[in-house]
Amino acid sequence: MNKILNFGSLNIDIVYSLDHIVRPGETISSEEINTFCGGKGLNQSVAIARSGLEVYHAGKIGRDGGIIRQALDEAGIKCDFLMESEGRTGNALIQKDKSGQNSIILFGGTNKEITTLEIDNILEQFTGNDILIAQNEISNVPYLLKAAQKSRMKIAFNPSPMEEWIKNTSLEGITWLIINEIEGEDLTGSSKPEEIISRLLKKYPDISVVLTLGKNGVIYADKTNWFKHGANEVEVVDTTAAGDTFLGYFVGSTAKGLDIPTSLKLASLAASLAVSKAGAVSSIPTMEMVNELLKT
């Protein structure tokens, strides 16, 4: 089987549970504060590992990153390319309201210390048909994507957080573009799911688009296929990492050779389990839990 490399962020998430997301000029008291391991990169690697696949995580932690290393180890993720520096590990300040929705402020920290030389040295260990997973929370992502394309790796790209450079860069060469509706609108100017997909496929006919729609499910489309899958109805506790769980299970299932509808189904079930638990890494289900839900 081809190798999977996730070159991505590692964050310490500080989560404030609030009645509502704070408004400009407002001061409110938090009902609870918790620290979790997170970062889109880490969450996606954990989802792949819990789906039963081997995954290498490349990223950088700082002197306070012990809990992140522990989370990677506990999930059985291969840490051959985990780097350390004297800096401060990336972190996220998350406001979570009583309906489970959130808003996130990121501090890049050591995620933003990744150099092009480090990217070259790590990608040397991978070849064509290996899979690269990337988000936009580390430094030099444009370089990483180009280098992976040169190595003919398959690329799953989650353009989050969205930035100007992504809108002005060709996404040709990406294998799976995994986006939500807001990112879709940023990329295409349309807020209508069908139009987002048709505009992207018109511009980049060879990519596969996976558009997640929250409680309205997900659409997968490439130049010959179009699949829609609904979302499970669950009680929402915390939406943090739901998208990351979806991505990890979708890419993992596809890498196992499962067909697209099955991969969408498993990924949607996994994401629905993730929203029913608090935290990022701590909310990501195992394959056994997904299979249990599948039976019901």
Give the binding site for ligand RIB (CB under 6 A): 9, 11, 13, 38-40, 43, 92, 104, 106, 137, 240-241, 243-244, 280
CA distance 125 to 130: 10
Q: How far is the CB of 199 from ligand RIB (least distance, A)?
A: 25
Give least dist CB 66 to ligand RIB, A: 17
Omega into 142 within 30° of 0, i.e. cis?
A: no
Comparing CB distances to ligand RIB, the nearer of 10 and 290 is: 10
Q: How far is the CB of 41 from ligand RIB (least distance, A)?
A: 8
Instruction: Pick the closer one to ligand RIB by CB: 44 or 126.
Output: 44
Compute the least distance from the CB of residue 198 to ligand RIB, in Å.
27
| Rounded least distance, CB 133 to ligand RIB, Å | 13
Which residue number, 62 or 243, has a Cβ lying nearer to ligand RIB? 243
Identify the CA nearest to 137 among candidates 60, 242, 235, 215: 60
Residue nearest ligand RIB by beta-carbon distance:
38
Determine whether 23 is exposed, middle or buried from the number of CB atoms within 10 Å of its CB (0-12, 13-18, 19+).
exposed
Eight-class DSSP state of 78: B
107 - beta bridge partners?
Answer: 91
Contacts of 114 (CB under 8 A, 6+ apart): 7, 59, 60, 83, 138, 139, 140
Cβ closer to ligand RIB: 96 or 229? 96
